[in-house]
A and B are shown apart, each in its own frame.
Chain A
C-alpha cells in the first residue's frame, strides 16, 4: 500500500520531468532559430556607420573669421549623401545655443547633386582664360549639332548643386557678413572633406534665387576653396 504523500511526491516529480522536457524543447527551438538567423544576410536594421574625423569650417560673427574644427561623425559612403550630411552637421552646429554664428535649427538642405565638370552638354570655354574672373573653368553650351553633346568634355572635378530648403533660407539672418559667412563656411567645409568638388551652385526649393537673405548672391557659381582665416583673418592687412 503506497501512502498518500508518496503518491503526491511521485506526481510532482513526473510534472517536473515533463516541464523540464518542454522547456528543453523550447530552448532547443530558439537556439536553432538563432543559428539560422546568423546565416541569413537579409538586412533588418540600419547599419551603424563608423564615425570618422571630418573638418568643419565654423564661422564667427564677432570677428568675421572662419576656423577649422575637427569632429567625429558618422557619414554615409555615397558622395551626394555625404555632402548633404556634412552641410546638415555644419548647420546643426550653428543651431546650438551659444553658437558664434547663430542660425535657425532644422534641416537646411533638401538635396545635393554632384555633376561632373564640365557639365554634360557644355565644354570648357577656351577663350575665357584671358578674362577669367572667378578662378575656375568657364563652360559654354555645346552646339546642338555636336554628336557627342551628351558626353562630358575634359572631365575633371565636380559641380555641387546644393538645393537649400526655403524654411531655412527664409529664417536665415539678414546681412552681408552673416550671409557671406554661411556660404563661405559651406564652401570651406566641402573643400576640406570632398576635394573633388570644384564649384558650387545654390538653389532654393529647386529654383534659382537672387540672394540668400537679401544680400549674398546666390545666382553665381562659387569656386570651392579654403576659406579658413586665422583669428585675425578677417582683419585687413593694410
Chain B
C-alpha cells in the first residue's frame, strides 16, 4: 500500500513540500571523493541558498612547510599573506563582520588527525561551511606591481544544480564573483593602486560556493621588499574593507535549480525504494 500512496503523491504533486536534507547540493569538503548519488527525481521546491552577509572568509595561502613564492631573500609568500589577512581581519571586524580565517598562524589549521596538513580541499570546505558573503584567497608575488584580482575561469552557470561536482562548484557563483571583482577593482583604483583583473585557474577557487576571488598582492615599486610596507598593505586592506561593506548588501546567492525529472527513472526508483519514504 505504501508504494502506491507514494507514487500517487508524487505524480499529483503532493511531493512538492519542504525539501529533504539529503537534497542539499552545496558541496563541502571532499565531497568529490564520495560516490555521486544520482539526482533525485523529486520536483520539490528547492530551498534558497544560505548566505551569511556578515561573514567574510580569508584564506592566507600556503603556510607551514609550504612557503609559497620567494619574494626576496628575506620575504616569503606565506608571511605576507598572513600579515595582510591580519590587517584585513582587524578592519573587517571593526565594521561588524565576522571573519573566518583558514589559518591564523604559520602552521595551517589541522581539522583532522594531528599532523595532517591542511589541504586545498580542506580550505574550500571551511569556506563552504561558513556560507560567507565573500571568500578572498590571499596570495603574494614578487612580479608585477599593485594588486592582481582573479575570478574563476569556469563558465558561469545559470544556477546551482542539485548535484554540482566538487571541482566546478563555483560555476553558479561566477557572476557574483565577477561583480565582487568589479567592486574591489573600483575601490582599489580609487585608492591609486595599480590593478590587474582577470580570470585564472587556481585551486581551490573552483570548489567554493561563495563569491570568491584570488587576491594577489604585488610590490608597489621596483623593490620586492616594498610588499612588506605596512602603510601600503593598510591602504589596500582599507579599500577592500570599505568595498565589502557595500558588497554585503548587494550579494545575491544564485538560484537553486530543480532536479531533472526522468519519468522512466522516477517510477523505477520509487517502486524499488518505497520503504525509505515517509
Interface positions of A (Cβ within 8 A of B): 61-64, 130-135, 173-178, 180, 210-211, 213-217, 219-220, 222, 234-236, 238
Contacts and interface: CB of A to CB of B under 8 A. Distances in A.
A173 B171 CA distance: 29
A133 B157 contact: yes
B196 A235 contact: yes
**5 tightest Cβ-Cβ pairs between the two chains A and B:** A175-B141, A174-B69, A236-B197, A64-B196, A133-B168
A234 B147 CA distance: 12
Most buried by B among A61, A131, A133: A133
Most buried by B among A62, A132, A180, A219: A180
A176 B203 contact: no
Interface string B191-232: 000011110111100100000001010100000000000000
A180 B139 CA distance: 13
Nearest to A218: B201
Interface residues of B, number: 43
Given A131-B168, A133-B168, A174 B68 contact: yes
Contacts of B260: 130
A214 B62 contact: yes
A126 to B, nearest CB: 13
A236 B195 contact: yes
Nearest to B188: A236
A176 B68 contact: no
A211 B200 CA distance: 12
Given A133-B171, A236-B195, 10 more contacts: A61-B144, A62-B145, A64-B148, A130-B260, A134-B153, A176-B200, A177-B144, A178-B141, A215-B69, A215-B202
Contacts of A130: 161, 260
A173 B197 contact: no
Nearest to B154: A133
Given A63-B196, A176-B214, A180-B150, A217 B144 contact: no
B62 to A, nearest CB: 7
B79 interface: no
Contacts of B98: none
Interface stretch (B11-19, B83-91, B178-186, B244-252): B178-186
B77 A174 contact: yes
B197 A235 contact: yes
6 contacts: A131-B157, A133-B171, A175-B141, A175-B144, A234-B196, A234-B197
B149 to A, nearest CB: 7
Most buried by A among B168, B182, B196: B196
Nearest to A101: B143
Contacts of A133: 154-155, 157, 168, 171
B142 interface: yes
B70 interface: yes
A82 B161 CA distance: 42
B143 A134 contact: no
A214 B198 CA distance: 19
Nearest to B200: A180
A217 B186 CA distance: 28
A63 B203 CA distance: 23
Contact of B181 (A132, A220, A236): A236
